[in-house]
Amino acid sequence: MQCVLGLQRLEVLPHSKALVGMYPGAPFLQFGTFSIMKAMILAAGKGTRVRPLTYDLPKPMIPILGKPVMAYLVEHLAQHGVTEIMVNVSYLHDKIEEYFGEGHQFGVQIGYSFEGYTNDAGEVVPQPLGSAGGMKKIQEFGGFFDDTTIVLCGDALIDLDLEAALREHRRSGALASVITLEVPWDKVSSYGVVVSDDDGRIRAFQEKPAQGEALSNCVSTGIYLFEPEVLDLIPSDRPFDIGSELFPLLVEQGLPFYAQKRQYNWIDIGSVKDYWEVLQSVLMGEVAQLHVPGTEIAEGVWTGLNTSIDWSGGTRIEGPVYIGSGCRIEAGATIIGPTWIGHGSHVCSGAEVVRSVLFEYTRVLPDVLLDEMIVFKDFSVDRAGEMRHVSDDASIAWGNARDRRSQRRAEVPPARYATQ
């Protein structure tokens, strides 16, 4: 789901009026600016609702404008001075770790906590501990959470004013705070529902209730502010979830647990349909601060390096369209935006690509129509979320642009519907 609200920026107080000692024992930077929080990015899930993209990618690595969604989060944290970031990983963890390393290229420090084990056959087996259980493991290992920590789901784009959120968290004396937004009532079953009083104190929390049972349409956005004492409530001997277990426990014990209603841009990639809609909005320029890369060679048409476009034979490209580096567009092809074509792809003569997303090295074969589709390796997904494997299609529609043969390979990968 995509929730885009008007952005409201709150100014940081000048040094002479800065807050001092809002939370007992909380350290502040010299000269009275706000303390620098630590951060935790939740990245251990399998992302089953975003398959087939997550057959080969962990959900935080799904690209927006060619860059993993988690990279935007790390950059946003760095811009707000949050430079110590822990990430819990499990499923396809190596892809996250290889891309981000220890964070030096982002100007931050990144540490990882792997959740899983190696079996007797030497195979690495993911075994997530739940969002709260993952934090408990980190705390018991090295005591990382010794200051206010912002916790973020690794699969959403945000432009939240972190200083303003921290300021309100400390003003309220909260042990835990949840950043919330209102969503349409028919969407509440996809989120944790928050019920709070006039002061923002949370009186009830429902994890993904049925629409008829929801007590509110104010939902958690998966952004939390925790004090270290919250970790004491999390058991060590089993998986434990923030939304379904920790938050109800905070309510039950009457602890200072608050909701913050803020105006900011929140783009949640909950499903393949959401992903398609997000990319359409981004390419249309509807999401602030996200700009199409490359060189604009014609109005609304951007290309990467060394792209070959044959404009003869009635080739038609209507923006907004991005064509990645090393792509080949043959004469007579048609591309209608919003469309993203990943690097190394090949659109053959007579093919039509309409409002679609092609991942890297996709070959669209001659006279084929791809209309509102996502093509990822051997899979395609339409706008409604229906998934097909290339072998399911009697007519040859797409293939691997690195394969020089005119016919696609006949074999079907045996693990195409595997659980991981």
As annotated, the active-site residues are 208
Residue 316's closest CA among 302, 330, 303, 326? Answer: 330
Q: Which helix (H) or strand (E) holds 134?
A: helix 131-142
Can you say how many angstroms the Cα of residue 23 is from the centroid of all Cα atoms in its chain? 31
Phi, psi of 93, rounded to the nearest 5 degrees:
-60, -30
Cα-based torsion angle of the residue sequence 195, 136, 84, 30 in order, rounded to the nearest 10 degrees: 70
- Integer-rounded Cα Rg, in Å, for the chain is 23
DSSP-derived pairing of the beta strands 192-196 and 156-158: unpaired
Alpha helices, H only, 238-385:
247-252, 272-283
Residue tagged 């350290």 (tokens): 27
Cα-based torsion angle of the residue sequence 370, 375, 381, 387 in order, rounded to the nearest 10 degrees: 120
The identity of residue 113, as a single letter, is S
First to last CA, the chain: 24
Residue 272's closest CA among 68, 91, 47, 49? Answer: 49
Q: Which helix (H) or strand (E) holds 100?
A: helix 93-100
Confirm if 364 and 398 have CB atoms less than 8 A apart.
yes
Residue 270's closest CA among 183, 353, 343? Answer: 183
Residue 100's closest CA among 128, 73, 138? Answer: 73
**Partners of 399 in the β-ladder:** 363
